[in-house]
Amino acid sequence: MKFLDKFELPRADPGTKEFPILDSLWPSTLICLGYLLFTLKLGPIYMRNRQPYNVKAFMLVYNIVQVIYNGIMFSYVCISDIPV
């Protein structure tokens, strides 16, 4: 084994070859570019003459669900014999 072989990137998981977004670099790149286009250009143009949306109730429900879900996952990890 050569010294530089230790730094070689591992091959992709063969099970993910047929996933629609993971089969190539282009779908994820286009999604990232679309996100940047919307957040930096199109979003501010769309919201220029509008009031901000009130998402306080939605965020409250979302945070409560996250706390419950993470508590359940934490208890499963603490109870299980599977090493983390």
Domain regions of the chain by residue span: 22-51, 53-84
In the predicted model, what is the mean pLDDT of residues 59-74? 96
- 72 touches 66 (CB < 8 A): no
- 41 touches 35 (CB < 8 A): no
Task: Assess whether pLDDT exceeds 90 at residue 28.
Answer: no
Could you identify the residue written with the tokens 């779908």?
27
- 0.75 surpassed by pTM: no
Task: Assess whether pLDDT exceeds 70 at residue 84.
Answer: no
Q: How many CB atoms lie within 10 A of CB 27?
A: 13
The mean of the pLDDT values for the chain is 86
- pLDDT of the residue at 52: 92
